């Protein structure tokens, strides 16, 4: 660690990255390390240590652990859930398997005021996720809070600055969670608050330079925020050694492929080769109606084109990927027992026979952090603030079989829709807005003539992470303008409808 900050020792919790993210929100540097390196780690510039939660039981033979070294360093420590149980058993306390599991919300009562509870009410809601609990606190420790099912919901060493929380302060649902973490990091650890996205950029550029070591790096840019920001970071590090290309599947938004290439050239002087593969994708999708089959074909074709293009760079050793932290959670859960609702091809990875080493500079960040870095990298806001776009693109927004005509029709309608939202300054309030072409025809009347034409459905949702979503409440005037313009300007459309379904039970995309 080259910076005064907080070390998070990761015992496998799904929330470890959230802890690091909260610390970054305080402008404090944080680094996540594995328990296997914790014993040998150089703590000389470390202001505080957080022991994360984890899925194991501290008594299991296979459970990750650490030696007692950190307790003698005189650095403040906060153990969360498994982390607190580890502090307990490492100092001769007792942890027991509890019959009363505690999942979700719980009421915390503070038993003893302490700096860590500064500005926290005596009673508040916390979020729990555990079945084991500390039965006997170690000698020299005191209980400082309890909950309904945990006699020791928080403990502290009476002389040293060592704390344990059974609950998770890092999650959004813990009422004063951020305040407690802030109290620990700022008032107890006295960590320096000088970590900014500019520092992140500098440090990451240095790391990439070292990793790439003068070798050729290739990058497939999609036009989305993540791949663009990742590539621009790599460009800063390796300059001309970065070879970027954009594969146009023909299923992108109206003219988006070419525009992205031109925009990167114009604004940050980045050369990205445009690879037009629209015909191939359309040919493969001919007469295919099933959404999952379409996804599979698009995903497979994309990988083929990508591999082919990559081969043309003879000396390339590295590949940039714009993976961000939530992608890793989603792709992990796809391997687990959870039900596959839709297969997201772009998190599935590339074929094993592609022997590139990966450069993934954003893999620990969340979307809003990536956007902030993009702004600091001076990437144009039209790229940074773009709504998320699914890998299979318009292929899953044209319900049923995809044809050249249907792509053109949808691209035009979608462009009008998004243009109106931008003109009316509503685009930025919406998580995702797009048009869908329905596989039905309806009767209309235009200039006394009967028409029998297509229906466009408009979708606009608000969301934080795409996992849950609500439909956006447009004014009548906005909907009127969008509908009028689409019906007047897009040949083949005589009806526009607005989707008022939440997720769940509906999904954001229609396929
Ligand atoms: P759903 O429709 O599952 O969408 O509610 C949630 C978010 O995921 C995007 N999405 C996809 N992204 N490949 C992707 O890369 C896909 O196959 C895919 N399907 C949905 C969707 O646009 C929304 O942001």
Q: What is the pLDDT along the chain (511 residues), one digit of tens a residue?
A: 656 799 999 999 888 989 999 999 999 999 889 999 999 999 999 999 999 999 999 998 899 999 999 999 999 999 999 999 999 999 999 999 877 777 888 999 999 999 999 999 999 999 998 889 999 999 999 999 999 888 999 999 999 999 999 999 999 889 999 999 999 999 999 999 998 999 999 999 999 999 999 999 999 998 889 999 999 999 999 999 999 999 999 999 999 999 999 999 998 889 999 999 999 999 999 999 999 999 999 999 998 999 899 889 988 999 999 988 877 655 543 333 334 455 554 444 566 667 889 999 998 888 889 999 999 999 999 899 999 999 899 999 999 999 999 999 999 999 999 999 999 999 999 999 999 999 999 999 988 899 999 999 999 999 877 877 899 999 999 999 999 999 999 999 999 999 999 988 999 999 9
Q: Could you tell me if the CB of 124 is within 6 A of ligand 1?
A: no
Q: Could you tell me if the CB of 83 is within 6 A of ligand 1?
A: no
Token pair 């790391």 is found at 207
- pLDDT of 337: 34
3-state secondary structure of 420: helix
Q: Could you tell me if the CB of 344 is within 6 A of ligand 1?
A: yes
φ, ψ for residue 346 (rounded to 5)?
A: -80, 0
Is the Cβ–Cβ distance between 399 and 497 less than 8 Å?
Answer: no
Q: Could you tell me if the CB of 326 is within 6 A of ligand 1?
A: no
Strands (E), 364-447: 432-446
Check residue 171 and report its DSSP letter.
S
Within the chain, all domains assigned CATH 3.40.50.620 are found at: 197-384
- pLDDT of 244: 95
**Measured distance CA(273)–CA(270) in Å, rounded:** 10
Ligand 1 atom 13: residue of nearest CA: 344
Select 397-498's CATH number: 3.30.300.10, 3.40.50.740, 3.30.2130.10, 3.40.50.1700.
3.30.300.10
Check residue 41 and report its DSSP letter.
-
Ligand 1 atom 7: residue of nearest CA: 466
Q: Could you tell me if the CB of 466 is within 6 A of ligand 1?
A: yes
Architecture of domain 6-188: 3-Layer(aba) Sandwich (3.40)
Within the chain, all domains assigned CATH 3.40.50.880 are found at: 6-188
Residue 395 CA to ligand 1 center (angstroms) comes to 12
Residue 32 CA to ligand 1 center (angstroms) comes to 29
- pLDDT of 336: 32
Residues written for the chain: 511
Alpha helix (H) residue ranges in 269-324: 278-285, 291-311
Within the chain, all domains assigned CATH 3.30.300.10 are found at: 397-498
- pLDDT of 405: 98
Rounded to the nearest 10 degrees, the angle between the axes of helix 367-376 and helix 225-238 is: 50
The pTM of this model reads 0.76
* Fold topology of 197-384: Rossmann fold (3.40.50)
Alpha helix (H) residue ranges in 116-196: 177-182
**Measured distance CA(483)–CA(488) in Å, rounded:** 8
Residue 85 CA to ligand 1 center (angstroms) comes to 38
What is the b/e burial string over 215-226, where b = at least 16 CB atoms within 10 angstroms of the residue's CB? ebbbbbbbbbbb
- pLDDT of 155: 98
Strands (E), 463-508: 470-471, 493-498
């Amino acid at each position: 660690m080259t910076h005064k900050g907080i070390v998070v020792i990761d015992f496998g919790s799904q929330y470890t990255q959230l802890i690091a993210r909260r610390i970054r929100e305080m402008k404090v540097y944080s680094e996540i390390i594995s328990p296997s390196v914790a014993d040998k780690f150089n703590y000389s510039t470390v202001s505080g240590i957080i022991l994360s939660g984890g899925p194991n039981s501290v008594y299991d033979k296979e459970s990750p652990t650490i030696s007692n070294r950190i307790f003698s360093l005189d650095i403040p420590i906060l153990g969360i859930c498994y982390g607190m149980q580890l502090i307990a058993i490492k100092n001769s306390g007792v942890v027991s398997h509890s019959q009363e599991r505690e999942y979700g919300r719980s009421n915390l009562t503070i038993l003893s005021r302490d700096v860590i509870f500064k500005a926290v009410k005596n009673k508040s809601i916390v979020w729990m996720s555990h079945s084991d609990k500390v039965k006997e606190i170690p000698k020299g420790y005191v209980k400082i809070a309890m909950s309904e099912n945990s006699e020791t919901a928080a403990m502290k060493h009476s002389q040293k600055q060592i704390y344990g929380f059974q609950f998770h302060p890092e999650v959004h649902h813990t009422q004063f969670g951020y305040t407690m973490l802030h109290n620990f990091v700022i008032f107890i650890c006295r960590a320096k608050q000088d970590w900014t996205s500019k520092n992140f950029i500098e440090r990451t550029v240095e790391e990439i330079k070292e990793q790439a070591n003068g070798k050729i790096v290739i990058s497939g840019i999609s036009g989305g925020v993540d791949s663009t920001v990742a590539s621009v970071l790599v460009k800063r590090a390796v300059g001309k050694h970065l070879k970027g290309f954009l594969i146009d599947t023909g299923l992108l938004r109206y003219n988006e492929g070419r525009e992205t290439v031109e925009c990167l050239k114009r604004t940050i002087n980045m050369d990205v080769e445009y690879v037009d593969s629209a015909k191939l994708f359309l040919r493969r999708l001919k007469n295919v109606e099933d959404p999952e089959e379409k996804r599979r074909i698009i995903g497979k074709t994309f990988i083929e084109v990508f591999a082919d293009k990559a081969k043309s760079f003879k000396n390339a050793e590295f590949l940039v990927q714009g993976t961000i932290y939530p992608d890793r959670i989603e792709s992990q859960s796809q391997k687990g027992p959870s039900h596959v609702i839709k297969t997201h091809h772009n998190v599935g990875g590339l074929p094993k026979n592609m022997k590139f080493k990966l450069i993934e500079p954003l893999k620990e960040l969340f979307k809003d952090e990536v956007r902030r870095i993009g702004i600091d990298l001076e990437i144009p806001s039209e790229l940074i603030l773009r709504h998320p776009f699914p890998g299979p693109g318009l292929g899953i927004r044209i319900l049923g079989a995809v044809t050249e005509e249907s792509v053109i029709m949808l691209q035009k309608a979608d462009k009008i829709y998004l243009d109106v939202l931008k003109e009316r300054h509503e685009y930025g309030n919406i998580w995702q807005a797009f048009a869908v072409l329905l596989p039905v025809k309806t009767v209309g009347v235009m200039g006394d003539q009967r028409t029998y034409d297509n229906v466009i459905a408009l979708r606009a949702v608000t969301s934080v992470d795409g996992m849950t979503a609500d439909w956006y409440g447009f004014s009548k005037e906005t909907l009127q303008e969008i509908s009028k313009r689409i019906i007047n300007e897009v040949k083949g459309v005589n009806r526009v409808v607005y989707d008022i379904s939440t997720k769940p039970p509906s999904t954001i995309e229609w396929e």
